[in-house]
Structure 1
Amino acid sequence: MSSLFLLLLSTAITAAVASIPAYPSVSTDCTVSAADDNPVPVRREVYGDGRIFDISHRYTVDMPSWGSKGGLGQFLWLPSSMKNGSRSNNSLMKLQSVHSGTHVDAPGHMVDSYFDAGFDVDTLDLDVLNGPALLVDVPRDSNITAKVMESLNIPKGVRRVLFRTLNTDRRLMFKKEFDSSYVGFTTDGARWLAKNTDIKLVGIDFLSAACYDHSVPAHLEFFEGRVRKL
């Protein structure tokens, strides 16, 4: 069963652009500082000398969430705390919407029959979700249309592509209020990709791979191959 996955990223990076202003780089030498009395966590982006780049967006209360003017809001509580006498620290996490931060769309996201059949993220192919990816810069004056896709000249055989757009320049993932003017795929752009490339994983730098006005039909174009074979 062939399918195309939509990975929604904070910012697409490679080794050559790991320290761009929209995605500031951090130290990569250790996970905990050397100060034994007061250890400080070091949050890493790069692992295995560049073999793995973690481009996921750290969850914060002020990060954008789909359709929200006030951001994600509180999502983490500590019902059990060692400071209050508990034997351990145990967190409670609750999201207003899983359409927040770095995430991957489940097959049932826009196809109700798939939702009813139980096609959630656990059914996705990890071999597709992991591996080398091509980073491409999209023209900054357009959504990702069929014309734009054709102009990118993405080689046959490329299976994973991260699309860096005007969203990164505008730092939309660092703004609290959801902005529906973000750049994404139009319906014809998604159709062109599905019919003319070998791409199985699409990554983009905001909360949706499809632009706001084409959110449903563009998603359906991405999932068309899977739906036909159901």
Structure 2
Amino acid sequence: MTSPALLVDVPRDENITAEVMRSLHIPKGVRRVLFRTLNTHRRLMFEKEFESSFVRFMLDGAKWLVENTDIKLIGLDYLSFAAYEEATEMHKLILEQRDIIPVEALKLDDVEVGVYSLHCLPMRLP
């Protein structure tokens, strides 16, 4: 899949709540958004141990996204876009209500905010 994607910066020390989603002012019609968070600044993708305090989507943020945007793909800079204890409910919300594709484990170091051509290739598994 190749398509344009908007990279946005999430305010540091903030999970992605409805308030944060409103503050990002993502234009209508944008369908793919990559969220750079404190996870990138903390370099969590380079750590060997899982960090449970990662920045993630909160249920109200995901609900706001589903109800107020045209987004069909979200990307986040850690191993999950949802907290473990909310993962089932979060996946139901974005997959069943809007069929939004989550892309996780993005390394967004040294990438400027802006629009990019996004290439998502399937992972080759044995």
Do the structures match in fold with TM over 0.5?
Answer: yes
Which structure shows the bigger proportion of residues in strand conformation? 2
SS of match in other structure, 1:163: strand
Q: Corresponding residue for 1:205?
A: 77
Letter in 1 for 2:5: A
Letter in 2 for 1:153: H
Q: Corresponding residue for 1:159?
A: 31
Residue deviations 1:109-152, cap 9 Å, x none? xxxxxxxxxxxxxxxxx4xxx21110000011211011110111
Q: Corresponding residue for 2:110?
A: none
Q: Corresponding residue for 1:173?
A: 45
Provide TM-score, normalisation by structure 2.
0.73
Give yes or no for contact 2:66–2:98 (8 Å, CA) kept in 1. no
| Structure 2 residue 87 is matched with structure 1 residue 218 | no
Q: Corresponding residue for 1:6?
A: none
- Aligned positions, number: 99
Task: Note the C-alpha offset of 1:200.
Answer: 0.3
Q: Corresponding residue for 1:47?
A: none
Q: How large is the RMSD of aligned CA atoms in angstroms?
A: 1.5
Structure 1 residue runs of 4+, over 3 Å off? none
Q: Summarize the Cα distance change of 1:135–1:180 in structure 2 as closer, same or farther, 3 Å threshold.
A: same
Q: Which runs of 5+ in 1 are unaligned?
A: 1-125
Percent identity of the aligned residues? 66
Q: What CA distance in whole angstroms lies between the structure 1 residues aligned with 2:28 and 2:98? A: 20
SS of match in other structure, 2:33: strand
Provide TM-score, normalisation by structure 1.
0.41
Query: Equivalent of 1:144, from 1, 13, 16?
Result: 16
Structure ID, larger Rg: 1
